[in-house]
Amino acid sequence: MLIKVVIGILIVVVLFLAFIATRKGEFRYEVSEVIAAPPEKIFPYISDLKRGGEWSPFEKVDPNMKKEFIGEPNQVGSKMIFAGNKDAGAGSIEILKIVPNELVQLRLVMTEPLAADNIVEYRLTPEGQGTRFSWSMSGDGGYVGKLVTFFIDCEKMITDQFRKGFENLKSIVEVK
């Protein structure tokens, strides 16, 4: 009888893992909001990795995060290597592409708590008296990502952080 129960449990586990394997691994999370400031006022904050700590909610997770900056600020190839607490994790972020006052494309490589290799984009588009700031992250979570997103709403978790970033940035660049 015990063998039948163990075999039954193993079958359920194998079926569950097979189901997870069929889930989509690629993702793209994006949030967009209008900020009451021109693109040229916002751009210096999103194109200089050293200034990310002024507004990025991800850097505020660990105020004691160790950061090393490599390369020239505001230039393709500029990179920040970081190591924080268990909530912040460790990895690097590198500028891949810059279009002044329009776009910053970054490569975010996480080594802790889970390995990840994602593309982050900041897009600025003039809109009315302000600027539409679109913040996206895309990548392929692989099998582990498929498993994690089955249990955790990663899109909500990430986009909630993006929204905090918008609020932080607004408090800096919007005229009161």
Domain ranges of the chain: 26-173
pLDDT in tens, 38-76: 999 999 999 999 998 899 888 888 888 899 999 998 999
Q: How many whole angstroms separate alpha carbon 140 and alpha carbon 148?
A: 12
Query: Lowest mean pLDDT: which of 4-8, 75-79, 145-149, 169-173?
Result: 145-149
Other Cβ atoms closer than 10 A to 145: 20
Whole-number Å distance between alpha carbons of 67 and 91: 10
- Strand-pair partners of 108: 93, 118
Query: What pTM was estimated for this model as a whole?
Result: 0.84
Preceding peptide of 113 cis, ω within 30°: yes
Query: Which helix (H) or strand (E) covers residue 135, if one does?
Result: strand 130-140
Q: What is the pLDDT of residues 65-114, one digit of tens each?
A: 899 999 998 999 999 999 988 888 899 999 999 999 999 999 999 898 88
CATH superfamily of 26-173: START domain (3.30.530.20)
Spatial separation of the C-alpha atoms in residues 58 and 136, rounded to whole Å: 14
- Sole residue written with tokens 């918008």: 166
* pLDDT score recorded for residue 15: 80
Name residue 80's beta-bridge partners: 69, 93
**Hey, is 100 helix, strand or coil?**
coil
